[in-house]
Amino acid sequence: MRVLKAVVAVISGLVVLVAAALFLLPSERIAQIAAQQFQTATGRSLTIDGAVRPSFYPVIGATANGISIGNADWADDVPLLRAEQMEIGLDLTALMRRDIQIDRIVLQSPVIDLRRNSEGRGNWEVAMRASAPPPQDDRTGSTDTSDSVASPDIRPRAFSLGLARIQDGQVRYRDAASGTDIRLDALDASFGLPALDGPAEITLAAQVNSQPLEITLATDNVARLMSGAVVGLSLDLGLAGARAQFSGRAGLADMIAEGRLDADIPALRPVVQALGQSGGDIPSEYLPLGFSGQITRTADGTLYARNARLGAGRLRLEGGADLALSGARPKLMGELSGDVLDLRSASGAAARSGTGSSSAGGGGGAQGWSRDAIDAAALGLMDAELSLAFNSVRTDMATLGRSRFDVSIDNSRAVLDLRETSIFGGRISGQLVANNRSGLSVRADMNARDISLLPMLTEVADYRRLQGRADLDVNVLGVGNSIHAIMNSLRGDGAIRFDQGEIIGFDLGGMLRNLDMSYMGEDNRTVYDSITGTFTVSDGVLRNDDLRLAAQRFSVTGRGSVSLGARTLDYRVTPAALRSEGDERLRVPLMITGPWDAPRFRLDLEALAREQLRVEQERVEELAREEARRLEDRAREQAAQRLERELGVQREDGERMEDTLRRGLEQELGNRLRGLLGGN
Per-position DSSP letters for 503-561, written without gaps between them: EEEE-HHHHHHHT-TT-EEEEEEEEESEEEEEEEEETTEEEEEEEEEE-SSEEEEEEEE
pLDDT at 367: 66
pLDDT for 332: 92
Q: How confident is the model at residue 646 (pLDDT cuts 50, 70, 90)?
A: low
Contact 68, 81 (CB under 8 A): yes
Q: Indicate the pLDDT class of residue 477, thresholds 50, 70 and 90.
A: very high
* Amino acid identity, position 555: S
Residue 396 near residue 343 (C-beta atoms within 8 A): yes
Look at residue 132 and tell me whether its pLDDT is greater than 50: no
- Predicted confidence at residue 157, as pLDDT, reads 58
Mean pLDDT is lowest, of 13-22, 38-47, 179-188, 327-336, for: 13-22
pLDDT at 131 over 70: no
pLDDT tens per residue, range 243-265: 999 999 998 777 889 999 999 99
Alpha-carbon distance of 549 to 509, in angstroms, equals 11
Please tell me the number of Cα atoms within 13 Å of 103 on its side-chain side: 17
pLDDT at 68 over 50: yes
Read off the pLDDT of each residue in 637-643 and give the average, rounded to a whole number.
Answer: 68
For the segment 288-309, the average pLDDT, to the nearest whole number, is 92
253-291 b/e (C-beta count within 10 Å ≥ 16 → b) = eeebbbbebebebebbebbbbbbbbeeeebeebbbbbbb
What pLDDT was estimated at residue 403? 87
- Indicate if the pLDDT at residue 666 is higher than 90: no
Asked if residue 158 has pLDDT above 90, the reply is no
> Is 351 in contact with 358 (CB distance < 8 Å)?
no
- At 173-200, the pLDDT tens digits run 888 877 778 888 999 999 887 877 888 8
Average pLDDT over every residue of 427-440: 92
pLDDT at 97: 67
Measured in degrees and rounded to the nearest 5, phi and psi for residue 141 equal 75, 5
Residue 559: per-residue pLDDT: 93
- Give 163: exposed, middle or buried? Use CB within 10 Å, 0-12, 13-18, 19+: middle
Highest mean pLDDT among 138-147, 202-211, 459-468, 617-626: 202-211
Q: 128 or 390: whose pLDDT is higher?
A: 390
Lowest mean pLDDT among 40-44, 410-414, 441-445, 663-667: 663-667
Does residue 1 have a pLDDT over 50? no
Looking at residues 210-234, what average pLDDT do you find? 88
Distance CA 509, CA 526 (A): 7
Q: pLDDT band for position 352 (50/70/90)?
A: very low
For the chain, how many residues are written? 680
How high is the mean pLDDT of the chain? 78
**25/17 Cα distance (integer angstroms):** 12
Q: Is the pLDDT of residue 653 over 50?
A: yes
C-alpha distance from residue 196 to each of 34, 162, 163, 193, 222 (Å): 24, 11, 13, 7, 6
d(CA 622, CA 204): 105
Asked if 122 contacts 116 with a C-beta cutoff of 8 angstroms, the reply is yes
pLDDT for the residue 318: 92
Angle, vertex CA 218, rays to CA 213 and CA 220, nearest 5: 170
* Confidence at residue 654, expressed as pLDDT on a 0 to 100 scale: 63
Q: Is the pLDDT of residue 119 over 70?
A: yes
Sign of CA dihedral 562, 566, 569, 570: negative
Under a CB-based contact definition with an 8 Å cutoff, are residues 505 and 524 in contact? Answer: yes
pLDDT at res. 217: 93
pLDDT band at 42 (very low <50, low <70, confident <90, very high): confident
Q: What is the pLDDT of residue 26?
A: 62
